[in-house]
């Protein structure tokens, strides 16, 4: 019997040592540990599990309860700096550094120098980039397309190309003063026209005739007047004073011409006489005589006062 009691006592002791307390002292469960007895270490239930907060730009995925982390922060999603804001995170709005410079678009005739981002402008617009008029199109700006004036063909026609050279024809003529390049207006008059085979100063040639005109200019001062001849328009070449004639099939032929001038003063009026003689085939129909300012003719510009007359 005594042996039996000893044995029971021993078993009880072993059970005590083994953790079977009479009253457990529980510690609450945590994220990763179940509820556990502080005395015997017995557990009950499951760990609570972490309360994860999503990772952010600067923080890894984190437990809101115990602070445990997992993985890496996401990192910022940067937008480049502009003139309006510094380098900025699309997600959290964090910034780094200062604003960038303006993104300038250079000035044109349409707009001043301006920033493509914020629209701020600097200075004024540029002049147009003109492309010269030709026979088919007017002078225009290659940047904005604005058009100015006529093409040369209508201009040519509008300048009374249809006139026929006739003795007695008179018109107001504006040209450029010798002295100061100012515009001066006076009268131009065709005082003589002549067709002939030859004379003392002009040799004859078979099948050709000389066509001649003398124009008198009465101007308030000495002027840069000029007589010349050209042919009808036949192609895309720049409109210019020519020293050849063109047939309707496009063939061109140089011709011989002479010019002479004399001038005198009559009561403060400068009177000058210009004579132009051109030798062309007798049957040639398209000779055009013109009166223009020498200044324009020499610079290749079109004299706005040029006058064309058919020289039959």
Three-state DSSP class for residue 147: strand
Q: Are 117 and 79 spatial neighbours (Cβ–Cβ below 8 Å)?
A: no
Q: Does 211 bind Zn ion (CB under 5 A)?
A: no
Strands 256-266 and 252-254: unpaired
User: Does position 35 bind Zn ion by CB under 5 A?
Assistant: no
Edge-to-edge order in the sheet of strand 269-281: 170-176, 183-196, 208-219, 269-281, 256-266
**Least Å from the CB of residue 41 to Zn ion:** 7
**According to CB under 5 A, which one of 36, 50, 133, 231 is a site residue for Zn ion?**
50
21 sits near Zn ion (criterion: CB under 5 A):
yes
Q: Could you tell me which of 108, 103, 100 has the C-alpha nearest to residue 125?
A: 108
Q: Which of residues 118, 179, 240, 298 is near Zn ion by CB under 5 A? A: 118
Contact 20, 39 (CB under 8 A): no
What mask, x for binding Zn ion by CB under 5 A, covers residues 121 to 140? -------x------------
Helices of type H across the chain: 2-17, 152-158, 294-299
**Residue closer to Zn ion, measured from CB, 116 or 185:** 116
Give the SS3 label for residue 278.
strand
Task: Give backbone dihedrals phi and psi of 157, rounded to 5 degrees, phi first.
Answer: -70, -40
Among positions 13, 14, 15, 39, the unique one binding Zn ion when judged by CB under 5 A: 39
For position 143 contacting Zn ion by CB under 5 A, the verdict is yes
Closest separation in Å from C-beta 222 to Zn ion: 39
Residue 158 CB, nearest distance to Zn ion (Å)?
A: 25
DSSP lists the bridge partners of residue 205 as none
Tell me whether strands 307-310 and 163-164 are parallel, antiparallel or unpaired. Answer: parallel
The nearest distance, CB 283 to Zn ion, in angstroms, is: 48
Piece in contact with Zn ion (CB under 5 A), picked from 81-89, 155-163, 271-279, 292-300: 81-89
Residue 200 Cβ, how far from Zn ion at the closest point, in Å? 57
Q: Which residues bind Zn ion (CB under 5 A)?
A: 21, 24, 31, 37, 39-40, 50, 57, 63, 65-66, 68, 76, 83, 89, 91-92, 94, 102, 109, 115, 117-118, 128, 141, 143-144
């Amino acid at each position: 019997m005594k042996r039996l009691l000893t044995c029971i006592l021993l078993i009880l002791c072993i059970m005590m040592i083994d953790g079977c307390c009479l009253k457990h002292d529980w510690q609450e469960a945590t994220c990763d540990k179940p509820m556990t007895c502080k005395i015997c270490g017995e557990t009950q239930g499951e760990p609570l599990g972490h309360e994860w907060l999503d990772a952010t730009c600067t923080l890894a995925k984190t437990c809101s309860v115990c602070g445990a982390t997992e993985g890496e922060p996401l990192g910022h999603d940067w937008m480049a700096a502009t003139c309006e804001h510094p380098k900025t995170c699309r997600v959290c709005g964090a910034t780094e550094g200062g604003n960038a410079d303006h993104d300038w678009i250079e000035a044109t005739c349409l707009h001043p120098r301006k920033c493509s981002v914020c629209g701020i402008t600097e200075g004024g617009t540029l002049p147009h980039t003109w492309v010269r008029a030709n026979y088919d199109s007017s002078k225009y700006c290659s940047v904005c397309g604005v058009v100015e004036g006529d093409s040369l063909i209508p201009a040519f026609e509008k300048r009374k190309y249809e006139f026929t050279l006739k003795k007695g024809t008179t018109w107001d003529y504006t040209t450029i003063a010798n002295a100061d390049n100012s515009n001066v207006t006076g009268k131009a008059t065709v005082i003589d026209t002549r067709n002939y085979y030859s004379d003392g100063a002009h040799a004859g040639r078979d099948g050709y005739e000389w066509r001649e005109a003398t124009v008198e200019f009465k101007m308030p001062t000495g002027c840069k007047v000029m007589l010349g001849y050209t042919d009808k328009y036949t192609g895309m070449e720049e409109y210019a004073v020519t020293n050849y004639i063109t047939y309707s099939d496009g063939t061109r032929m140089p011709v011989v011409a002479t010019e002479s001038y004399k001038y005198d003063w009559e009561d403060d009026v400068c009177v000058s006489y210009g004579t132009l003689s051109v030798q062309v085939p007798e049957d040639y129909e398209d000779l055009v005589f013109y009166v223009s300012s020498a200044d324009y003719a020499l610079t290749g510009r079109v004299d706005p006062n040029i006058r064309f007359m058919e020289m039959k």
